[in-house]
Amino acid sequence: MVYALSSDGFDPHWCATGGAALEAARGGGFALAVLDVGLPDINGLELFKQLQRDQGLPAIFLTARSTEIDRVVGLELGADDYIAKPFSPRELVARVRTVLRRVQRSVPVAEAPAMSGGFDIDDERKMIRLHGRALDLSRTEYRLLKVLIERPGRVFSRDELMERAWDDPASAFDRTVDAHVKALRAKLREAAPQDDPIVTHRGLGYSLREKA
């Protein structure tokens, strides 16, 4: 399972017990939990309730139990999906991606201010200024930076950024996003050498640094 997710660009963290999972989750940085119901120290359903209460993580249950009652209990607790063993690695990856997309799209987007963290968005002119200095951006760079500015601190996956900033997301791929972020960083350094506003979240994506 870890190999399948790693091979598809994710950065999974495996825990052998529920206690280890709770400890890891307290450190933050996780987008989704894949939980086995049959853990050695704590029932997976109880672990999910604790993760929901403390972290609000979306979750997929992974279990050998395939009866309807087990599926219903898990889903009624608020789980986002349920996979019964045996399953293929491809199915797991597809379900993980589907849940992440569904959760990310369900988050309400607050109306963004005209200025955020030194950035000034002029949507009519398709222009962004940093500390009053206009940035020379391509259309894709403009869209990409605008997405980040509108939700400071919010981590966007590469898939999300492709969907929101590219005319044809299907023609883009992860390294295309990375290349555009690299170009954006160079232009931002030129405009404001003291700033480093774009944050890389390994295995997750990018965000705009929140101002203290």
Residues in the chain, overall count = 212
Range of the domain at 130: 115-208
For residue 182, what pLDDT is reported?
A: 93
Query: What percentage of the chain reaches a pLDDT higher than 90?
Result: 25
- Structure tokens, 186: 């160079």
**Where residue 131 sits, what CATH number does that domain have?**
1.10.10.10
For residue 38, what pLDDT is reported?
A: 81
Separation CA 178–CA 184 (nearest Å): 10
Residues 122 and 41 occupy one common structural domain = no
pLDDT at 151 over 50: yes
The pLDDT confidence band at residue 105, using thresholds 50, 70 and 90, is low
The pLDDT confidence band at residue 62, using thresholds 50, 70 and 90, is confident
SS3 199: strand
Q: pLDDT tens-digit profile of 14-38?
A: 999 999 999 888 877 788 899 888 8
Query: What percentage of the chain reaches a pLDDT higher than 70?
Result: 83
Domain total of the chain? 2
For residue 111, what pLDDT is reported?
A: 44
The pLDDT confidence band at residue 128, using thresholds 50, 70 and 90, is very high
**pTM for the predicted model, two decimal places:** 0.48
Separation CA 210–CA 200 (nearest Å): 13
pLDDT at 212 over 70: no
Q: How many CB atoms lie within 10 A of CB 146?
A: 18
Q: Which of 106, 134, 164 is the endpoint of a domain? A: 106
**Where residue 49 sits, what CATH number does that domain have?**
3.40.50.2300
For residue 110, what pLDDT is reported?
A: 45
Separation CA 123–CA 188 (nearest Å): 19
CB 98 within 8 A of CB 112: no
Residues 123 and 66 occupy one common structural domain = no
Q: Which of 106, 135, 160 is the endpoint of a domain? A: 106
Q: Which of 71, 106, 141 is the endpoint of a domain? A: 106
Closest CA to 30 of 4, 8, 50, 59: 59
- Structure tokens, 65: 């139990």
Separation CA 40–CA 25 (nearest Å): 18
- Structure tokens, 56: 């609000």
